[in-house]
Structure 1
Amino acid sequence: MTSNPALPDDETLTESGLAAEQRGSILLIACGALAHEILALKKLNGWDHMSLTCLPAKLHLYPEKITDAVVEAVEKHRDDYGDIFVVYADCGTGGQLQTKCEELGVQMVEGPHCYSFFEGNDAFDARSEAGEITAFYLTDFLVRQFDAFIWKPMGLDRHPELRDMIFGNYTKLVYQAQLENPALKEKAKDCADRLGLAFEYRFTGYGDLATTLAKHA
């Protein structure tokens, strides 16, 4: 199975080609890093009544900006849809996103971050309680975008000596695979080698993302 091309991360992405009257009554406001997975689930389940707009994936580098961006998107689109669902977990906002969503009267995905809901929040919590606190996680998106979202922003392309300083307390890289893709698995192994970490592969599929969207379909 081949991977999909990476989506642009420097601008808002919205499904196009649909007239206003053809759009579904539910709008998903999502992180751009989840676009491929959400579109796959929509197609798989026939959720044609759901429309999707994605905020730039690069907001993950600036979690303090996520809440304001989501609020702006909700206020921009809420009059055009019967319901809005925010496809973000807390994602480093320190509870601010949940608070704002409650104020706006919209729901969002449960969990601290996508690594948790892809694994399944209960399963992720159990692993954490069992002591898995030295794992660095990658999803399909982050494997594809490893250089753009991790290697370069952390300065490792210019200062490789920072690797041990940044990742010295990690022991392994866990690749949470949404697709069974041998090419991505090999790339994830290379990412682990570049970071000097042991490699672990976990096929998670879509985890709680699938069950959560199904509840709101």
Structure 2
Amino acid sequence: MQKLSDSDLTRTGLPLAAQTGRVLLIACGALAREILDLRKANGWTHLDLTCLPANYHLYPEKITQGVREAVTKHRAAYDQIFVVYADCGTGGLLQAACRELAVEMIAGPHCYSFFEGNARFAEHSDSEITAFYLTDFLVRQFDAFVVKPMGLDRHPQLRDMYFGNYEKLVYQAQTDDPALTQKAQDCAAFLGLAFERRLTGYGDLATALADLKP
């Protein structure tokens, strides 16, 4: 499990020891930046954060056990634990584990859904089967999480095999950053896909965290 170091905790203002009334967020490392930004912007000082490795995005079979271990490790120190993972490819196993462990988790099939808002995403999900989604994190880490794991840096001819049935790349922008937008456009061009940008903000992630009272 990847946990923020003491120096990271000090730098971001997170406490080094749990206190009564505190809430621990067990999150995907791909959401750390967004969670810390929301925490700072809203003064949610009662929220602490620990993250599982972001590359579990590529290995969803590791998520459930990682969450189990994190809950077991930290349960005694916190009044509440909240899991900031959607189903994320676990096939319902994470939800079952959270129910067994008596902890809550964010709703939705994946982060693309809750960033856009689960209700809104569900309205058009059937018509976007041929859409490939990127978030701010995945745009920044496009090489590490898309290009290299798929071998496209070594075997560019695989691109059409992997993405030949996709029609567009949808960039769900959490922030209004022209540099990230340009990089997302470059990602779409690299994959040979049409480009669409949606400024989603933090969607249901912000709502879920706001509901976690001290």
Sort the TM-score into its range (normalised by shorter chain): over 0.9
- Aligned-partner Cα distance in 2 for 1:62–1:138: 17
Q: Which aligned pairs between 1:31-110 and structure 2 lie closer than 5 A?
A: 31-110=28-107
Q: Deviations over 1:27-84 (max 9, x none)?
A: 0000000001100111111110110111110111100010000100000000000000
Q: Which aligned pairs between 1:172-187 and structure 2 lie closer than 5 A?
A: 172-187=168-183
Q: Does structure 2 retain, via aligned residues, the 8 Å contact 1:24–1:48?
A: no
Give the aligned residue type for 1:152.
K
Q: Does structure 2 retain, via aligned residues, the 8 Å contact 1:172–1:198?
A: yes
Structure 2, unmatched stretches of 5+, are: none
| CA positional deviation for 1:177 | 0.2
Q: Which aligned pairs between 1:96-135 and structure 2 lie closer than 5 A?
A: 96-129=93-126, 131-135=127-131
| CA positional deviation for 1:132 | 1.3
- Aligned-partner Cα distance in 2 for 1:34–1:11: 13
Aligned residues: percent identity? Answer: 69
Give the aligned residue type for 2:92.
G
**The one of 3, 21, 30 aligned to 1:12:** 3
- Aligned-partner Cα distance in 2 for 1:94–1:137: 20
For 1:161, the equivalent position in structure 2 comes to 157
**The one of 149, 154, 170 aligned to 2:166:** 170
| CA positional deviation for 1:23 | 8.1
| CA positional deviation for 1:215 | 1.2
Against the structure 1 CA distance between its residues 50 and 189, is the aligned structure 2 distance closer, same or farther, given a 3 Å change threshold? same
| CA positional deviation for 1:11 | 3.7
| CA positional deviation for 1:13 | 2.8
Secondary structure of residue in 2 paired with 1:20: coil
Give the aligned residue type for 2:49.
L
Number of residues paired by the alignment? 207
Tell whether 2:145 aligns with 1:152: no
Q: Does structure 1 retain, via aligned residues, the 8 Å contact 2:2–2:50?
A: no
TM score, norm. by length of structure 1: 0.92
Secondary structure of residue in 2 paired with 1:161: helix
Secondary structure of residue in 1 paired with 2:32: helix
| CA positional deviation for 1:25 | 1.1
Q: Does structure 2 retain, via aligned residues, the 8 Å contact 1:175–1:200?
A: yes
- Aligned-partner Cα distance in 2 for 1:126–1:158: 38
Structure 1, unmatched stretches of 5+, are: 1-9
**The one of 189, 193, 201 aligned to 1:193:** 189
Q: Does structure 2 retain, via aligned residues, the 8 Å contact 1:86–1:109?
A: yes
Give the aligned residue type for 2:9.
S
Superposed CA RMSD: 1.4
